[in-house]
Amino acid sequence: MTLRFQTTASLLAALASGQLFGCDASSEDPADPNPSGGGGGSRADDEPRPAPPTTADASFLDAFAETGRFRYGQPRAIEVLPDGSGVLYLRSGARDSEGKLYLWDPETREERELLTAADLTENGEEELSAEERARREPMRLTARGIASFRLSPDATRILIPLSGRLFLVDRAQIGQDGAVRELESSAGRAIDPRFSPDGSHIATVRGGDLYVIDVATGAEVRLTTRPSDEVENGLAEFVAQEEMGRMRGFWWSPDSRSIAYQQTDHSGMERMHILDPMHPEHEPQAWPYPRPGETNARVRLGVLPISGGPTRWVEWDHERFPYLATVRWPRSGPLTLLVQDREQEEESLLAADPSSGETRPLLSESDDAWINLDQTAPRWLSSGEQFLWSSERDGEWR
């Protein structure tokens, strides 16, 4: 017998119904010596038999697969305009994964499509580098088209990264000629672009180094120079992304004059060779992977003025706390970092002086099992003298 399955969902349905094994999942167990339930068996005649498994609904499974687990069409990356006049968000169609930018008007309660990938690039197709695909994996981001955007602090501009290129959109001019301006660069593909707090500059990572772009002129300046291919600046390493939920690798100062950034050294780490099953003609990619007990990436945090100059490295006990779990640079409050030991049983929250690199402890916690992280903490209050902290120290989140 030959069976053909049009979709993965159909295959799953066949597995559930027993078609692949030449039987009906609802039939009686052939190994049961007393299939009809009458004398001779150990089961009492009046004991109810378990209900047979039901055949999976192929139409449901098809819909589950075709709608991205019923997630396509859901708004995401939601950004409320500061004046409350609207809400920006990304959304795909009900049965496709192409992200488009929309505006919802609270007065009219109507949705308006603002931009698609075809409005930005020649063919509207997105081309991702291996580094960009690896960065999206921990975020479980599989959307095509417009996958992310940044709203400027004054809400007049929208920054959209697409295929490693950066597009700056004048929100008031959308739909008109000249609304979109590409921030061109010959330095490589842009990763994780972010506006400065005053909106005058954009920081991004290209080729493992940190760059700053002047929004008004488009002029780009390279801030860091990595000493080798083993070193990256401005990106979170694998452990931070996959195990700690920290996707960022650099942070603007509140006055927009400096950037705190992570430097990662992968030298000495074990390499895993990963093949892209969608492109078997490509060579496997070698990625540094920190298996338990093996060499970890070495990370440190530096502060660099965007006007140029040397990096000031933040000081802490790297041997005791090799993990940089969380970084905050709030408008009110100091540059703050949370560091952990490798066993993730002990952590220390530190306040750093960006001009000297010196740190002072704010609090510490330990647990004989492990410590779960809350990437939204600490939350500094407007006074800059107090912060909110969440903890499981007594067994529950508080």
- Does residue 4 have a pLDDT over 60? no
pLDDT, average across residues 309-316? 97
**pTM for this entry:** 0.80
Q: What pLDDT band is residue 273 in, cutting at 50, 70 and 90?
A: very high
Percent of the chain, pLDDT > 90? 67
Structure confidence at residue 66 (pLDDT): 81
Tell which residue, 125, 126, 104, has the closest CA to residue 113: 104
pLDDT for 97-121, tens place per residue? Answer: 889 999 999 999 999 999 999 999 8
Structure confidence at residue 372 (pLDDT): 93
Task: Show the 3-state SS of the chain.
Answer: CCCCCCCHHHHHHHHHHCHHHCCCCCCCCCCCCCCCCCCCCCCCCCCCCCCCCCCCCHHHHHHHHHCCCCCCCCCEEEEECCCCCCEEEEECCCCCCEEEEEEEECCCCEEEEEECHHHCCCCCCCCCCHHHHHHHHHHCCCCEECCCCEECCCCCEEEEEECCEEEEEEHHHCCCCCCEEECCCCCCCEEEEEECCCCCEEEEEECCEEEEEECCCCCEEECCCCCCCCEEECECCHHHHHHHCCCECEEECCCCCEEEEEEEECCCCCEEEECCCCCCCCCCEEEECCCCCCCCCEEEEEEEECCCCCCEECCCCCCCCCEEEEEECCCCCCEEEEEECCCCCEEEEEEECCCCCCEEEEEEEECCCCCCCCCCCCEECCCCCCEECCCCCCCCCC
Per the listing, tokens 């704010």 go with 362
- Does residue 30 have a pLDDT over 80? no
pLDDT, average across residues 258-262? 99
Tell which residue, 323, 338, 328, has the closest CA to residue 240: 323
Q: Is 211 exposed, middle or buried (0-12, 13-18, 19+ CB in 10 A)?
A: buried
* Of 43-57, 82-96, 194-208, 228-242, minimum mean pLDDT range: 43-57
- Write out the two tokens for 150: 């940044």
- Does residue 55 have a pLDDT over 90? no
- Does residue 7 have a pLDDT over 80? no
pLDDT, average across residues 118-129? 72
Residue 69 backbone class (left: φ over 0; alpha: ψ -120 to 50; beta: rest)? left
Structure confidence at residue 62 (pLDDT): 84
- Does residue 140 have a pLDDT over 70? no
Average pLDDT of every residue of the chain = 86
- Does residue 349 have a pLDDT over 80? yes
pLDDT for 357-388, tens place per residue? Answer: 999 999 999 999 999 999 999 999 999 999 99
pLDDT for 160-204, tens place per residue? Answer: 999 899 999 999 999 999 999 999 999 999 999 999 999 999 999
- Does residue 49 have a pLDDT over 80? no
- Residue 286 burial (CB count, 10 A): 10
pLDDT, average across residues 329-335? 97
Q: What pLDDT band is residue 126 in, cutting at 50, 70 and 90?
A: low
Backbone angles phi, psi at 60, to 5 degrees: -65, -45
